[in-house]
A and B are shown apart, each in its own frame.
Chain A
Amino acid sequence: MLGLFTVVLEVLAGVVAVTVVAIVGVRVARRTRHRRQAALAAGPRRALLAFVADNGEHGAQELVAIPDEAWRAAEPGALALLGKLRGEAHLALVSVFLQRGIARTALGNLHSHSRVKRARAAQVLGDLELRQAVPELCRLLTDRHDEVRVVAVRALGRIGDPAAAWRIIASLDRSDPVPSLLATHTLVQLGAEAEVTLSAALDHPQARVRAVCLDALGLLGATGSVDRMARVLREDSYLDVRVAAATNLGKLGTRSALEPLQQALSPSRPAALRAAAARALGELGAPSAVPILADLLADDEFQVAHEAAHALRRLGPAGADALAAEIDAGRTGSGAHARPSASASHAQEALALSRVGHGERVGAGA
């Protein structure tokens, strides 16, 4: 027993000593590497900045001629710079990357066995906004690993080729899809040309797909799809999808969205849908919705009444008048010492907030 102890102690002392040495070693090694990398990257970095500042008019050959080691040190900075630039400067920098063969390497790495390599390659292709890479990136949408799929979707968004729309939509219809918000953002980045595909996908059997397409259509301001969205609002079997339809009809800001939203307010509909519709009417900015919203202030559902009040706040002077009228009604209706009715409280809250926005001083309950 004691002998064992002694051995254990010796081993332990050894391991502790090794750990201390390792800590110091790691630090020394890291610092040396950093210094070396910084020294290597300094020249290329200056050249890169000068190059893009001159819109890439001269200096491309010098950048292409930078030795590989120095370029590798400067590459992360150059990739970051890509995301910060537009116009000729961006194009010129991309062409330097292409001449150095970065895109070719990345396209090859999309087939790598390492998922980290595949993801990195997809990221680079997205940064370069390389349209030729779209088919390959679309293939990556069915990758085994979710993290690779996520990067592929983001890269497709950066590139913005509407041809990728239906592949992205299709990739949502699987057991572990890419995050909905990311897919929505990407579909929006594809631009107005993707609208037809998105609109057609509103008939997709998968609820998640319909919800994502509704959000994308709303953000794109796709006024041509009002009728189809209104149908989803009326008929869809999923409440969440109907709520999304209401919300996004409000974002379109078109008169034709008014009618379907008003219908969604009827008391027979679920409270969450009615609240979303009330909110959407405020977003829509149609003063003709004021009387309907004013009626909702007295609704039994907290969320509905609350959203109605704030929608009125967004509807400008007509909405503010309705709120003020509700507060007056609440005051005269009950006795002087009675607490204001729920509807008056909601109105008061919304009105006060609208006045803050306009820089007026308001007191509580005044």
Chain B
Amino acid sequence: MTPGLIRDILHYTDVTIFAYFLALNSSYLVLIVLAGLEFGRHLRRAPFAGADDMFRSPLTLPVSVIVPAYNEGPGIVAAVTAMTALRYPRYEVVVVDDGSSDATFELLRAEFDLVEVPRVVPAEVPYQSRVLSVHVARANPETLTVVRKTNGGKADALNVGINLARHPLICMVDADSVLDPDALLSVAKPFGDDPLRVAACGGVVRIANGCKVVGGRVVDVRMPRQWLVRIQVVEYLRAFLMGRTGWSRLGGLVVISGAFGVFRRDLVVEIGGMATDTIGEDAELVVRLHHHLRRRRQDYRVIFVAEPVSWSEAPAGLRVLGRQRRRWHRGIAEILRKHRGMIANPRYGRIGLIALPYYVVFELLAPFVELAALVLLPLGLWADAVDLAFVWRFVLVAYGYGLLVSLASLFIEEVSFHRYPRWGDLVRGVLAAILENFGYRQILAVWQVRGALGALHGRRAEWGVMHRAGFDTGGESAEPVSVGVDR
């Protein structure tokens, strides 16, 4: 190859990468604008939404809240206490102790005066572990059940919980989630408004770090102290709150966080419960639900509720954050591989034609392109394929556009929910949106690439090592760590 050809290739690659960044950020911006429209729609309707009528009606669909817990000793009592005091007419809490080695169960037993009851556990969805015992709270046996089982990972624990759940709606919640008192009411409401079509409904997860939490409730919302977490706050606003609301409006929502989601139990049973062979079983469940219902040509909806409902502790250290992000990206890669037949398949409607292709191009591949840009731009500069004037403008436009997207999220948050009342926190949010571009994005891309590669190559080896790791606490609440047995 002649140096001239190499130069040309580098030149066009760099221009392509630039175009990719523009398209990526434009797509974010479109989602954010859609989210803004959705919030406006929602807020205008709040006066006649009828949340109070729903609370008073004896017919409101009852919910089973399933809480998988593995070594959650320090926070379990506060969490379960808060969960049993939600504002909802009729619901039960099912805690699944996934073979904890700490005092998780003993603490619960002491606090709620648990009594063991023989209970026939149906196997409507398959599970691999063994149920050791079932307990109920003496004072209100109908509302709190605690199951002890041998360790089998989060997905398996959820499956046992689904079997024991007695109500038509199930809500899966992480044991370290801090829920708003109206959380269930907000997220179960779409099922009451449109019971024939709504199949699943996700709630937004926000970051609890820095907030004042009293008795299992967030009472004062603040920005966290560390910049690393502040950047994540902006990231969550942009990607989860705005992104998922936008997708929900488009009818293409494919991810509901495991930290808070409500599903119709009959549908979850129909599709066989949680998959134990993937890392992101929460997102996988939603994709599988789409898969199933689209194949049946059923008219259905998967909805995202933007009202703050669930607060999670975000990782404050690089090591834990890295692990979390590797896992998330690996989850995306695994799900896309498992359901690759849906991608670009007109049979699956918007999911197949828009949402999943988008995930491949702009979620799965984004970190690869980001890293490629970091390598190829200097290379192009060195090979004289591009000049310095191009490069610095390229960088400024690419990052500047990204910054604009983050600021647009902050703007819409300020217009709609304005949950951060302090001026200082507003300034910190804006600064975090700028700082994100210096280091955070790059290291994130490295983790994500490693996660995606992990899904494609080192699968077998890594699974051997991580076998039956149970699931993590350490503030990695938003997504799961459970690992199943290899096929």
Contact = CB atoms under 8 A, between A and B. Distances in A.
- Whether A and B touch (Cβ < 8 Å) is answered with yes
Interface of A: 1-2, 5-6, 8-9, 12-13, 15-16, 19-20, 22-24, 26-27, 30, 76, 83, 116, 119-120, 122-123, 147, 150-151, 154, 157, 179-182, 184-185, 215, 219, 302, 306, 342, 345-346, 348-349, 352-353, 356-357, 359, 361-365
Interface string B200-241: 000000000000000000000000000000000000000000
Interface stretch (B102-110, B111-119, B442-450): B111-119
Given A19-B408, A27-B414, A348 B118 contact: yes
Nearest to A151: B48
Given A181-B57, A182-B57, A345-B118, 19 more contacts: A6-B393, A9-B393, A13-B400, A16-B400, A23-B407, A26-B411, A76-B47, A116-B45, A122-B48, A150-B50, A150-B193, A179-B194, A181-B59, A349-B118, A352-B118, A357-B141, A361-B115, A362-B116, A365-B118
Interface string B397-429: 100110110011011001100100001001000
Contacts of A184: 59
Contacts of B60: 181
Q: Which of B44, B48, B193, B426 has the most CB of A within 10 A?
A: B48
B35 interface: no
A9 B194 contact: no
A181 B61 contact: yes
Given A5-B393, A12-B397, A182-B192, A27 B411 contact: no
B390 A2 contact: yes
B430 A20 contact: yes
A161 to B, nearest CB: 17
Nearest to B58: A219
B16 interface: no
B138 A356 contact: yes
Contacts of B193: 150, 179
A349 B192 CA distance: 32
B389 interface: yes
Given A20-B407, A147-B45, A356 B390 contact: no
Interface string B43-86: 01101101011000111110000000000000000000000000
Given A12-B401, A356-B138, A363 B116 contact: yes
Contact of A9 (B400, B415, B418): B400
Contacts of A30: 418
B136 interface: yes
B458 interface: no
A20 B61 CA distance: 44
Q: Which of B394, B407, B430 has the most CB of A within 10 A?
A: B407
Contacts of B122: 302
Nearest to B434: A16
Given A215-B59, A345-B120, A364-B116, A23 B411 contact: yes
Top-10 shortest CB links A-B? A123-B48, A5-B393, A352-B117, A348-B118, A19-B407, A181-B59, A185-B57, A356-B141, A12-B400, A364-B116
Contacts of A122: 48
Contact of B418 (A27, A76, A215, A345): A27
Q: Which of B50, B133, B389 has the most CB of A within 10 A?
A: B50
Given A181-B59, A215-B59, A356 B52 contact: no
18 contacts: A9-B393, A9-B400, A20-B407, A20-B430, A23-B407, A23-B410, A119-B45, A119-B48, A122-B48, A150-B193, A151-B48, A181-B60, A185-B59, A215-B59, A346-B120, A348-B118, A349-B117, A356-B115
Interface residues of B, number: 47
Contacts of B485: none
A182 B195 CA distance: 10
Contacts of A16: 400, 403-404, 407
A157 B52 CA distance: 14
A349 B131 CA distance: 15
A15 B141 CA distance: 58
B396 interface: yes
Contacts of A20: 407, 430
A215 B138 CA distance: 32
B48 A19 contact: no
A27 B81 CA distance: 36
Contacts of B408: 19
Contact of A2 (B61, B389, B414, B423): B389
Contact of A364 (B118, B396, B426): B118
Contacts of B119: 349
A123 B59 contact: no
A239 B207 CA distance: 46
B22 to A, nearest CB: 9
A94 to B, nearest CB: 18
B141 A181 contact: no
A2 B116 contact: no
B195 A179 contact: yes
Contacts of A362: 115-117
Nearest to A185: B57
A120 B47 contact: yes
A229 B423 CA distance: 63
A12 B117 contact: no
B234 to A, nearest CB: 12
A154 B50 contact: yes
Given A12-B401, A27-B426, A349 B47 contact: no
Contacts of A179: 192-195
B414 A23 contact: yes
A353 B404 contact: no
A147 B47 CA distance: 12
Contacts of A6: 393
A364 B117 contact: yes
